[in-house]
Amino acid sequence: MTIDQAITFFIFSIVAAITPGPSNAMILSTGSAVGAVRGLPCVLGASVGMGLLLFASALGLGQIVLARPQLLHVMKWVGAAFLLWLAWKIATSGRASDAASAPAVGFVEAASFQWINPKGWLVAVSAAAAYLQIGSEPPLWQALSFGLVFFCAALPSGLVWLALGAALHRLLKNERAARVFNIAMALALATSVLLVLA
């Protein structure tokens, strides 16, 4: 990957990583529930998970998945079920003052989620199709470059969502405000299930 290609792909990655989607809703909700410090593993996990997904997709995994409709169908339903479970957890979570005891989405959960995240797969497959340069460098090196560049874009993007959630954390000390916010976030996330099953 040349410097120009890396810059172009980095810009694509920033746009893909910072726009709203299930991962950013998860990070925002985590930040609003447990604050910035306890939310850092969620951001790091989502960033590493997406970097690994881009790496695997650039090596050809995306094409393998797309070529097997049954696997794609199972992934859609697993992703939809996870999003609905996450929406339920958000809707029923407590107010921000309970943050010390509130469970946080951790590194492993956030990283694993990327592999069933419909937006993640769309980004990974479209990035591989648009930015891979066949024959320009060894496939493994190109895949590593893809994963690393996307990680470098996803981490600061996730931190923006976490900071927004942490700012809301301070505002959501009131039980009613927290309940309204949690239900609104849960509904937004549950609505995204329609995109998964479409």
Contact call for residues 182 and 30 (beta carbons, < 8 A): no
Domain residue spans of the chain: 3-197
Element of type H or E holding 74? helix 69-91
pLDDT at 196 over 70: no
What is the C-alpha to C-alpha distance for residues 179 and 92, in angstroms, rounded to an integer?
A: 8
Contact call for residues 65 and 166 (beta carbons, < 8 A): no
Contact call for residues 130 and 124 (beta carbons, < 8 A): no
Q: Which residue has the higher pLDDT, 181 or 124?
A: 124
Which residue's structure tokens are 């893909």?
A: 16
Of residues 88, 113, 116, the one with CA closest to residue 27: 113
pTM exceeding 0.85:
no
Q: CA dihedral defined by 164, 158, 78, 195, rounded to 10 degrees?
A: 70
For the chain, the distance separating the N- and C-terminal CA atoms, rounded to the nearest angstrom, is: 34
Quick one: pLDDT at residue 195?
Answer: 65
> pLDDT for 20-68, tens place per residue?
888 888 898 888 888 899 999 999 999 999 999 999 988 887 667 667 7
Ordered DSSP codes for 40-73 = HHHHHHHHHHHHHHHHHHHTTHHHHHHT-HHHHH
> pLDDT for 114-172, tens place per residue?
988 877 888 888 888 777 776 667 778 888 988 999 999 999 999 999 999 888 877 77
What is the C-alpha to C-alpha distance for residues 24 and 5, in angstroms, rounded to an integer?
A: 26
What is the C-alpha to C-alpha distance for residues 1 and 19, in angstroms, rounded to an integer?
A: 25
> pLDDT for 55-107, tens place per residue?
998 888 766 766 777 776 777 777 777 778 777 877 776 655 455 556 678 99
Which residue's structure tokens are 């998945």?
A: 65
